[in-house]
Amino acid sequence: MKNDLLLKALRGEETGRPPVWMMRQAGRYLPEYMALREQYGFFERCQTPELACEITLQPVNIIGVDAAILFSDILVVPQAMGLEVQLIESKGPVLPAPVKTRSDLQRVRVPDVNETLQYVFDAISLIKKELNGRVPLIGFAGAPWTLLCYMVQGKGSKTFDEAKAFCYTQPDLAHELLQMITDTTIAYLKGQVAAGADTVQIFDSWGGLLSPEDFKSISLPYIQQIVGALKEDVPVIIFAKGAWYALEEMAATGASGLGIDWCIPPALARKMAGSNITLQGNFDPAKLLSPIPVIKKEVNNMLNAFGNGRYIANLGHGILPNVPVDHARAFVDTVKEWSSS
């Protein structure tokens, strides 16, 4: 591999400067993505390996990031498990028949991923071929709690109150569903690795909506199972947005990397996670709306705070659709120009 900075950083090896990529780096801020969006529906883009491949490579070619992340969505898993998922422009994801009762759970199954998600594995094979060793490919899946949020609430939410109520009022049912998602996700990520993914990231975007105690019972045990099943095959990165209070427990899962958001100072994150794991983050995505000189200054502050070693530069959550392309490029270029001396 020509540029394996990301994998070196995850293994704790010397990198010279930190690798850099951006969560949701293939997306609506790129005119080239918008052009394809005009022509094809969202899941059509996910399910057509040639399209998924083209979109995955866009940020590598246009922005110069040090890693590609598979273009797909965490919601392809609920879809494969038997639930209908729609992506409605301006509304986000909608699941018209969410899980509320035990009889709803009968509609949900642990599928054969080679039947239902083969298109993802085909996309990965094609991406690896097209990348031709330029940079590593990151595979991913949603964490079971975050997927339960959508499967129960049926749509996006600021609080995911109905998903929480489901866990609090029908805990047995909730844990059954979480286990089904976990079993599906392990098979799915193993399939991604078999197809060529060099590392995988688990997105627990709504982990931080849970109290520390609830996170430990509802989210962490399932993330732990997934990491345990994958960590001998590839390095695993956990990104549980807002769940800074559980960094120590997440580090203890055997993951190689921990994503953090901008609400925790780098020094505190390092103290909680310990020295034996790679941190990834944590630039506030909205800060990419600042003038470029401000971006450069703030990125340098971030890099100095994390220091070089066991660190991957990234945003603290996904890039926003209204970020100018040259601002995204300034973020990446500033990391590439930084030197710790």
Which are the catalytic amino acids?
24, 28, 37, 73, 150
Residue 83 interacting with ligand CP3 (CB under 6 A):
no
Q: Give the binding range for ligand CP3 (CB under 6 A) out of 20-28, 107-115, 225-233, 332-340.
A: 20-28
Closest CB to ligand CP3 among residues 30, 174: 30
Q: Which amino acid is at 102?
A: R
Residue 27 interacting with ligand CP3 (CB under 6 A):
yes
Q: Which residue is nearest to ligand CP3, using beta carbons? A: 205
Which position has the token pair 């286990």? Answer: 179
Out of 5, 57, 75, 240, the residue judged to bind ligand CP3 by CB under 6 A: 75
Q: How far is it, in rounded angstroms, from Cα 198 to Cα 134?
A: 12
Q: Are 190 and 229 in contact (CB under 8 A)?
A: yes
User: Closest separation between CB of residue 27 and ligand CP3, Å?
Assistant: 4
User: Closest separation between CB of residue 304 and ligand CP3, Å?
Assistant: 26
Q: Are 46 and 18 in contact (CB under 8 A)?
A: no
Q: How far is it, in rounded angstroms, from Cα 162 to Cα 272?
A: 31
Among candidate residues 306, 286, 307, the one with its CA nearest the CA of residue 295: 286
Residue 203 interacting with ligand CP3 (CB under 6 A):
yes
Out of 66, 73, 261, 333, the residue judged to bind ligand CP3 by CB under 6 A: 73
Residue 71 interacting with ligand CP3 (CB under 6 A):
yes
Residue 87 interacting with ligand CP3 (CB under 6 A):
yes
Among candidate residues 47, 74, 6, the one with its CA nearest the CA of residue 318: 74
Quick one: residue 270, left, alpha or beta (phi over 0 = left, psi -120 to 50 = alpha)? alpha
C-alpha radius of gyration, the chain, whole number: 19
Q: Give the binding range for ligand CP3 (CB under 6 A) out of 72-80, 228-236, 255-263, 289-297.
A: 72-80
